[in-house]
Amino acid sequence: MTSNEQRFNNYVTDAMAIYNRATEAKSSKNIIRLANKTLKTVEQAIKLAPIIKAKEKIGYLNEFVTLSHALIAEAHYNNKDLKSAIESFNIAQKSNKNTLGNQETYVRDCYILSRLMDIGKLQENWKIADKFAQKIFFSAKKLENSMKALKYYIKIRDVFIESKNLDFINKSYSEMLKICKKKETVKENPKIVAEIYDDYAKYLYVVLKKTKNAVKYYKKAVLLLEELNLKSEAQIIRKKIEEINKK
């Protein structure tokens, strides 16, 4: 092993150790300090990578860059410094594009974008929140973990409702329903599926004025809740169906 290779390995090992300390730090000040120290250490490793003919490891190293900037952003957010939080989250998102391009890349992308979306919501800037929600939509479609994707579709649907983005409300529900129709989703998360069917039925009835389809999904929700022996919740939806049928 050459001296440069040894230095590279030392930088990577040190960066991992410092990053772990940053994640365990209690104060925002220490989180930021250790995350910045991680960044400086990783930067040295990235500089050495081409010299030791290890360019393929730069994508992996950029994961630490991305995560460190995200840690800094969260610390700023907790300090109510939203401007600095936004700046750091934006840097994290750009850095994430230079990672390995695998499932973890898409998971990080959804997380970072969701935090930027949350800041938009906090500021009641629905135009900004909507912008990030749309980006999350396309990143979530790349997730192989259906339940993780579903979690994000639910979050962005609520933003699209606030921003009155009917096109993406429909798109979000479409993706949610695809996941809910999978046997494994129904088997492992029947209550979540029932809640989505109930919510979608309300949307069909109140917004789209599609009564028959609304009743269809209300009935699907009732069946799932009854199978879970959640009789009181099932009865609430049955009353909704009865009220629709009276009209």
Mean pLDDT (whole number) for 169-197: 95
Residue pLDDT, tens place only, 72-126: 999 999 999 999 999 999 999 999 999 999 999 999 999 999 999 999 999 999 9
Specify the length of the chain in residues: 247
Nearest to 201 by CA among 180, 186, 230, 183: 180
Looking at residue 240, its pLDDT comes to 94
Looking at residue 245, its pLDDT comes to 87
Instruction: Give burial (CB, 10 Å; 0-12/13-18/19+) of 55.
Output: exposed
**Residues sharing a CB contact under 8 Å with residue 162, sequence separation 6 or more, in sequence order:** 121, 126, 129
Confidence of residue 206 (pLDDT cuts 50, 70, 90): very high
Between the CA of residue 29 and those of 19, 34, 109, what are the distances in Å?
14, 9, 25
Record the pTM: 0.91
**How far apart, in whole angstroms, are the C-alpha atoms of residue 26 and residue 19?**
13
**How far apart, in whole angstroms, are the C-alpha atoms of residue 201 and residue 46?**
52
Residue pLDDT, tens place only, 214-236: 999 999 999 999 999 999 999 99
Q: For 82, how many CA atoms within 13 A lie in the half-sphere containing its CB?
A: 9
Between the CA of residue 137 and those of 10, 45, 115, 180, 246, what are the distances in Å?
39, 34, 14, 17, 38
The answer to whether 8 and 49 are in contact (CB under 8 A) is yes
Q: For 35, how many CA atoms within 13 A lie in the half-sphere containing its CB?
A: 25
The mean pLDDT of the chain is: 95
Confidence of residue 1 (pLDDT cuts 50, 70, 90): confident
**How far apart, in whole angstroms, are the C-alpha atoms of residue 141 and residue 128?**
21
Residue 247 has pLDDT above 90, yes or no: no
**How far apart, in whole angstroms, are the C-alpha atoms of residue 133 and residue 139?**
10
| Residue extents of the structural domains in the chain | 1-88, 101-180, 182-247
